[in-house]
Structure 1
């Protein structure tokens, strides 16, 4: 393991029954970075986090956190990490402050230290005013913030966030994004799983796209977009007849269509000459096209490219 890596896996494997949930996963997370595991349901994201957090044992390969093997050195790993799962691990009948103080005692803080640390975290996560209320009265966003605060009681150097914003409203999601950015800025290594493409784009220094338990691609958001994304030419036709004719002429190149809105989209490399040819092909008499837009690649395009065809995604690991 290299000195700059906080988390590293080599040929990690895990099976449940006859199904390979992880199949030779190799990745490396730099210290003080935000690393996102992105993939559809069943891709192996949560299983990876459970192994790294010592909650599951791999069937093959090696996983290390801060240089410690997650199987042989479980105690050392657990001293330096924290995990916030998909469901907040809170006692609804206790207040927010009581939850944090209790968890502070469980991680080894003295009563006085647990009180101080709890008060600091409630302030940091904008929960000071609600600290005396029972958690059952909290909104979903407040519960997730309290759960994240609880995961920081032991001041971990590595924190695992398993789909931390699932089910949150946009404002609560934005608040959690700010907290994650603050953690990374303070030197904490954050490994998060997510199905939200915008979340990975906004937060992550590096993104690993998992598909079928394998690493389909890994890189920064910009690198992935340049390599696997494509520009899109979006066409809005004037009427249903023009729409049908354009769709027929473009054929298999159409990647998206909305008949009700008279909209079509085709992939393109963004070259001006190619766009002119596509416009002429879709509307040769220049009467059926109402307007067009050329859009840059997004992580949505990357995601569909890498996970839309399982055979292609599994053929090789693409590193950038």
Structure 2
């Protein structure tokens, strides 16, 4: 081959190589752009879904009445009935809460409510849980009828529909009062008693131009029912839901206090801390300290004489609702979202 021909062939090879690299780079750039766009779309979808569930929880969060008793060995002049965060004292240790809620410890009982959402193709099931550092009694005598830590709440049953701006229809609730569950339905609900009786009706109150169910907790033991099955007797606090604000009552008869909704499954939160033995026993109940008895997490709440198992109010709510009620209409028991079972 002549020298000029060889040089020409070499140049052609270089040009071909450069063209191949350009095609490869263009292809890689296009794939990278597609991946970036796809990730952005996923992030937007995730944020939209998170916002929807947050607003769903807020939409059906109860206006909550808390009766307050200012006399008794555990009352702290009424403070013993204020709801607060489980880690109000900035730790996840359950054996110091009885003492740390004392005013001289410097920790404020900012109002919180813990929630979770479980979903099927037909319904949303929302847990709301309120925490008190003390389940207390008038007389602290030989550890009878009081204990450290208290967590009681409710399951709200929401039928999916376009009603209420797409947040569905409130059909009923099952509440927790110590070792018993109580069922309540609003006027017009199709739900009827099945294996368990219906114990009363749900009332609604307007808040921010939306009708919210109304619940109430008794003083001392903090059993929870639909209002007015429990009610404020004398002094009491009226709590309103918020996604962002946690307030402290100004006094024992403050009727305008915001509680902050907190996801049970938030990162490094209630659910994630369940295996911390300074916090929970067996990942599901609070330790038995200060007096007798102990509190349970929602995934261990149990009615002492019903058919569903312990914790199923939270972990398998469709099963429990199907047992408690009939005339459910279109009702799926297959979960599309159930973080208790790892379905996300």
Higher Rg of the two aligned structures = 2
TM-score bracket, normalised by the shorter chain, equals under 0.3
Could you state the TM-score of these two structures normalised by the residue count of structure 2?
0.21
